[in-house]
Structure 1
Amino acid sequence: MTILITGATGTVSSAVLSSLAGQADVRVLVRDAAKAPSGVRVAVGDLDDVAAEVLRDPARHKGATYTLTGPAAISLREAAGELEQVYGRPIAYRPVSPDDAYRSMREAGMSEWLASVNREYLTAYAAGWGDYTTTAVEDVLGRPARSFATFAHDHATALRP
């Protein structure tokens, strides 16, 4: 099984990544490929383009906060469907309840605190907490954010299961 972890340098994702070490084919999506954990394949997208633009003209962005999203809020099931189209083979999405995820994280050795935080995030996302988009990518780059399907197609070789 191939697992894609987004934001792999963050607190939650880095803990998940370390719990998967040596157990699965893991790919990561990070803002800065130089900071990616060693031993995993890296994919980058609009994040690096926005970061480069902000570094090119820091005065224009002084004090700004950008919440970067794609052009559409999609579910993990929809993402799996997009990946099926790119790879021409079935891609399974298996939802896991926050409580089941908590138990699995604890069984894998994750601390009670971190497993609880992850469960809270999963509960919030299941309730629609992350279902929104912004125009930040277009505001900074002058072009729309790339869709997940475009990203998957552009990085098919790196992400291919």
Structure 2
Amino acid sequence: MNVTRTSVAVTGSTGALGGAVAASLAAAGASQRLLVRDAGRAPSHPGADVAQCSYSDATAAVQALAGIDVLFMVSASESADRVDQQRTFVDSAVAAGVRHIVYTSFVGAAPDAVFTLARDHHATESHIRSTGVGFTFLRDNFYLDVMEHFVGEDGVLRGPAGEGRAALVARVDVARTAAAVLSDPARHIGRTYDLTGPEALSMTEVAATLSEVRGVDVRFHDETVAEAYESRARWAAPDWQNDAWVSTYTAIASGALADVSGDVEAITGRRPLSFREFLTVG
């Protein structure tokens, strides 16, 4: 990776996605600033300095982003006030003089998206656009990485997905794409990319592949929407969280997540992992 020299800040470096992006940039010899909530947890990379802030602390964020040209903004953790946090952070970036925000969004982000959290991403995208700052939106599909964790202890993957399909993407492919964008950010200003895997799978196919590769019995149960809310009631989650969990599957059923994009390969030069490849070598 040939890195264009520019001042880059990376959020989320203590997590899986931001951590992989930071590691990739460091391996390419890039200098970067790691923005973290807890400086003691920040990874150690050559050419990296660390600044402490949260998305909702405008004063600390402005200070942490001083001198930064390009910001890699991993979407905030799911919460009821996620959009407010992200708007505050975007405003802080603009106040600090950031000229380009690379934001991890979601495919089909829209105010009326079936997947409720995609509405949050649309609101954040809209706010970034309204500031006039340069932007690149990386719209991920659901992660391949989480599919195995969605299977219950009884070996059942359950949700109202019907025979809908999703072009699931491996987190590592999203990280590779983000790192490539950050290596030459000017080429990607004003662009929105859909980051998907190479195939669109039904949940029946996801269960069958897990069964075959892992050697365990996994099956998909197509719940009704009412059954989906009932089966998740034992976690006593807030309404917005239950809506997000259930709409994960209704969004798949709607067909909104089925389109396969070539953006990962176009940007990185390498085809993204299939689900089987992810389970065996990913």
Q: Corresponding residue for 1:148?
A: 275
Alignment of 1:29-68 (within 5 A): 29=145, 44-68=171-195
1:75 aligns with 2:191: no
Kindly report structure 1 stretches of 4+ aligned residues shifted beyond 6 Å. none
Q: Percent identity?
A: 34
Deviates more, 1:116-125 or 1:104-113: 116-125
Q: CA deviation at 1:147?
A: 1.1
Q: Corresponding residue for 2:246?
A: 119
Alpha-carbon distance change, 113 to 146 in structure 1, aligned in 2, over 3 angstroms:
closer
Q: Corresponding residue for 2:228?
A: 101
Q: Corresponding residue for 1:11?
A: 78
Q: Give the secondary structure class of the aligned counterpart of 1:47.
A: helix
Note the alpha carbon deviations across 1:117-148, whole angstroms, 9 max, x for none. Answer: 54344323212221111111111112222211
Q: Aligned AA for 2:267?
A: V
Counterparts of 1:132 and 1:138, CA distance in 2: 15
Note the alpha carbon deviations across 1:18-44, whole angstroms, 9 max, x for none. Answer: xxxxxxxxxx938xxxxxxxxxxxx84
Q: Give the secondary structure class of the aligned counterpart of 2:251.
A: helix
Q: CA deviation at 1:45?
A: 2.4
Q: Aligned AA for 2:145?
A: L
- Which of 125, 131, 135 does residue 258 from structure 2 map onto? 131
Q: CA deviation at 1:97?
A: 2.5
Note the alpha carbon deviations across 1:82-135, whole angstroms, 9 max, x for none. Answer: 222322333233333322121233342112243235434432321222111111
Q: How many residues align?
A: 120
TM-score normalised over the length of structure 2: 0.37
Counterparts of 1:70 and 1:134, CA distance in 2: 8
Counterparts of 2:249 and 2:213, CA distance in 1: 27
Counterparts of 1:117 and 1:49, CA distance in 2: 27
CA RMSD of superposed structures (Å): 2.6
Counterparts of 1:10 and 1:98, CA distance in 2: 25
More strand by percentage? 2
TM-score normalised over the length of structure 1: 0.62
- Structure 2 unaligned segments of length 5 or more: list them: 1-75, 80-143, 147-169
Note the alpha carbon deviations across 1:44-63, whole angstroms, 9 max, x for none. Answer: 42111111111211122222
Alpha-carbon distance change, 117 to 44 in structure 1, aligned in 2, over 3 angstroms:
closer
> In the alignment, is the contact (CA less than 8 A) between 1:50 and 1:141 conserved in 2?
yes
Q: Aligned AA for 2:241?
A: L
Alpha-carbon distance change, 88 to 96 in structure 1, aligned in 2, over 3 angstroms:
same
> In the alignment, is the contact (CA less than 8 A) between 1:99 and 1:119 conserved in 2?
no
